[in-house]
Amino acid sequence: AAAALENTITPPVKVEHTQLLIGGKFIDAASGKTFPTLDPRTGEVIAQVAEGDVADVNRAVLAARKAFDQGPWPRMTAYERSKILFRFADLIEKHNDEIAALESWDNGKPYEQSTKIEVPMVARVFRYYAGWADKIHGMTVPGDGPYQVQTLHEPIGVAGQIIPWNFPLLMLSWKLGPALACGNTIVLKTAEQTPLSALLVGKLLHEAGLPEGVVNIVSGFGATAGAAIASHMDIDKVAFTGSTDVGKIILELASKSNLKAVTLELGGKSPFIVCEDADVDQAVEVAHFALFFNQGQCCCAGSRTFVHESVYDEFVEKAKARAINRAVGDPFKSGIEQGPQVDSEQFKKILKYIKYGIESGATLQTGGEQLGSKGYYIQPTVFSDVKDDMLIATDEIFGPVQTILKFKDLDEVIARANNSRYGLASGVFTRNLNTANRLTRALRVGTVWVNCYDVLDPTIPFGGYKMSGIGREKGIYSLNNYLQVKAVVTALENPAW
Ligand code: ADP
């Protein structure tokens, strides 16, 4: 592999963990099989990783079940659980750069983004949930009679969690954080494109004092390991982040097996609405960020840029200039804004959509092709004159392709923005309070960012309307995903005291 990387910067980290993490130990897959994880800069192999399958998911569920039924985790004080999570967050900070290097190597995202934004955010998420651990409690309820009625908020049991490759560790933190704070045990499957960072972080979790079997990490593929989690009879809840198509499969497998509780965070085609009174320069910059951040690989990407006709021409010119200026290159080089797409499948899919855009008559303002000749780099691409029914305006492209549409008035843009099977997020750019209020109420989406975008700290709930998902992650709302409510009704002997 070293020779193949000769023209690329060597990541400042060694890959130390490639086995499955089950019952607190790193072990090989039962089958002995491995799969290669690839460097998106070159397509070359970074490492061979143990390939978890149905047998390994079964082993992981046994470990998680034992840890839940007999282990200390759900039984220790909430304060003790909280302290372990705080220690874990400290360890993430201590190993920040090493973790970030694995994340960028496996995924292709700029190292500066990983070191300065994402890994610190992961520590922040775990601190947020560490703080919740000892603040989760039930209620005393006024029943109709001589009874003392209370609710116990109990952990749901063994949680299955299936995560994607676009923000491997951040998605891990949104899933593990609330599940652990509530006292659950977990079987987590990473995406086959990005298995590495989770294994290092899994080691740190145990270093922080997590009892064995509480978090089990299985690397592997969706149709095998992923489906085994969704259909397992002894998993109490499954949380999934990924495509809408696979989300439907998860729900189906859950219902066909044991009716485990399901939360889904799926695709999007989020509108970004630039009104006539918006500060155009600022709107261009934020719209650019909303779409191009993370190589365009965000479920909440602002991927339909609606611009009012009065500022449309100016906006298109400036959006094009900004895209041309975007710094694309080796993610380990300083000052880089955009690295390669995660793999050849995504790369080809994005180029196919660019072709559809050109064929359907949208104006290609800039970009449109592969950048360089190796790896999965794509030129920052901007289309204008996009119409609502073009595939580039209806489908999730998941790449660095901005599509700009023109609108005349608010009623029209509300109807068009809502005319989507998705409803994940939206951006609104205006300085008019009434316009902002109107849009925030009318948009059928899980998040409205007004004069900002991608503000995603752990206190803020995140999730989708319509086919963008079921349930909310982050914030207080995510705790319900990992709790059962038990009503306890006790007859009173002397009701009149
Ligand atoms: P993408 O298309 O962006 O790769 P996917 O929805 O295919 O997104 O993948 C997200 C996660 O879901 C990954 O961990 C993947 O392995 C997993 N996955 C894919 N197919 C299935 C499936 N049939 N059952 C369970 N998990 C799956």
How does 299-335 read in b/e, with b if 16+ C-beta sit within 10 Å? bbbbbbbbbbeebbeebbebbbebbeebebbbbbeee
- For this complex, say whether ipTM is above 0.90: yes
Whether 246 lines ligand 1, by a CB cut-off of 6 Å, is: yes
Whether 192 lines ligand 1, by a CB cut-off of 6 Å, is: yes
Assess whether 276 carries a catalytic annotation: no
Residue 140's DSSP bridge partners are 150
Q: 264 CA distance to ligand 1 centroid (A)?
A: 12
Is the distance from CB of 381 to CB of 323 less than 8 angstroms?
yes
Helix (H) or strand (E) holding 354: helix 344-359
pLDDT (average), residues 381-392: 98
Q: 239 CA distance to ligand 1 centroid (A)?
A: 12
Q: What is d(CA 290, CA 268) in angstroms, rounded to the nearest whole number?
A: 13
> DSSP letters along 377-391, please?
-B--EEEES--TTSH
Whether 249 lines ligand 1, by a CB cut-off of 6 Å, is: yes
Q: 337 CA distance to ligand 1 centroid (A)?
A: 27
pLDDT (average), residues 100-129: 98
Whether 226 lines ligand 1, by a CB cut-off of 6 Å, is: yes
Q: Which of 265, 276, 396, 473 is catalytic?
A: 265
Given this model, what pLDDT does residue 493 score? Answer: 86
Return the structure tokens found at 51: 């390939």
Q: How confident is the model at residue 494 (pLDDT cuts 50, 70, 90)?
A: confident
| Residue 210: closest CA among 63, 398, 343 | 63
Given this model, what pLDDT does residue 497 score? Answer: 63
Return the structure tokens found at 256: 């066909």
pLDDT (average), residues 458-465: 98
Whether 52 lines ligand 1, by a CB cut-off of 6 Å, is: no
Amino acid at 347: F
Q: Whose CA is nearest to atom 27 of ligand 1?
A: 222
Q: Whose CA is nearest to atom 18 of ligand 1?
A: 222
Q: How confident is the model at residue 6 (pLDDT cuts 50, 70, 90)?
A: very low
Q: What percent of the chain has pLDDT over 90?
A: 97
pLDDT (average), residues 392-403: 98
The ligand 1 atom nearest the CA atom of 245: 6
Q: pTM for the complete prediction?
A: 0.97
Q: 353 CA distance to ligand 1 centroid (A)?
A: 21
Best residue for ligand 1 mutational test, from 54, 57, 162 (most atoms within 8 Å of Cβ): 162
The ligand 1 atom nearest the CA atom of 229: 25
Amino acid at 323: A
Helix (H, G, I), strand (E, B) or coil at 70: coil
Whether 227 lines ligand 1, by a CB cut-off of 6 Å, is: yes
Whether 410 lines ligand 1, by a CB cut-off of 6 Å, is: no
User: What sign for the dihedral angle of Cα 73, 75, 80, 85?
Assistant: positive
Q: 142 CA distance to ligand 1 centroid (A)?
A: 45
Whether 175 lines ligand 1, by a CB cut-off of 6 Å, is: no
The ligand 1 atom nearest the CA atom of 230: 25
Q: 278 CA distance to ligand 1 centroid (A)?
A: 39
pLDDT (average), residues 221-231: 98
**What's the mean pLDDT when you consider all of the chain?**
97
Helix (H) or strand (E) holding 65: helix 54-69
Best residue for ligand 1 mutational test, from 161, 246, 266, 467 (most atoms within 8 Å of Cβ): 246
Whether 222 lines ligand 1, by a CB cut-off of 6 Å, is: yes
Amino acid at 3: A
Q: 435 CA distance to ligand 1 centroid (A)?
A: 39
Q: How confident is the model at residue 217 (pLDDT cuts 50, 70, 90)?
A: very high
Whether 242 lines ligand 1, by a CB cut-off of 6 Å, is: yes
Given this model, what pLDDT does residue 227 score? Answer: 98
- List, in order, residues 6 or more apart from 249 with CB less than 8 Å away: 227, 230
pLDDT (average), residues 314-337: 97
Q: 165 CA distance to ligand 1 centroid (A)?
A: 9
Q: How confident is the model at residue 5 (pLDDT cuts 50, 70, 90)?
A: very low
